[in-house]
Amino acid sequence: MKRILVLCTGNSCRSQIAHGYLKYFAGSKAEVYSAGVETHGVNPKAIEIMAEDHIDISKHTSNNVDEYMNIPFDYMITVCDNAKERCPYFPTQAQKFHYNFPDPAKATGTDEEVMDAFRNVREMIKKYSADFIEQHINTHP
């Protein structure tokens, strides 16, 4: 079974959304973990917009990357430039991937405009996650 680590700054939004979708699309073919270079708690808006798409991340926790140093990951995905630049040395043979998704937690405006920003990022991460699993898990048993 393949192991995937998704890394973000605070493990609160983007990495949590990616964790939910990667796990959903991989099913039993991969173990998915997410972490941050800091921990900010799981953002309630991320939980809400994932529930809209029938994915429950309400039990996820915000974890620091240091907690996973001894796990032999096959893939490591950074989902923001800050995490890519700040990630401490991580001893892994994992293939590394990077995609800088916008941070929905920085969205401003009305409640609906902020939620739309979360939904837009969710859709970007959903597509990326589906493509990633198709290319790296489903085609490489």
Q: Is 13 a catalytic residue?
A: no
Task: State the chain's maximal CA–CA distance in angstroms.
Answer: 45
Tokens linked to 5: 């680590």
Catalytic entry in 4, 5, 6, 8: 8
Catalytic position from the list 32, 77, 80, 105: 80
Amino acid present at 123: E
Cβ-contact 45, 114 below 8 angstroms = yes
Active-site residue 80, yes or no? yes
| Catalytic, out of 7, 87, 94, 137 | 87
At which residue do the structure tokens 């808006």 appear?
45
Q: Would you please indicate which residues are annotated as catalytic (active-site) residues? A: 8, 80, 87
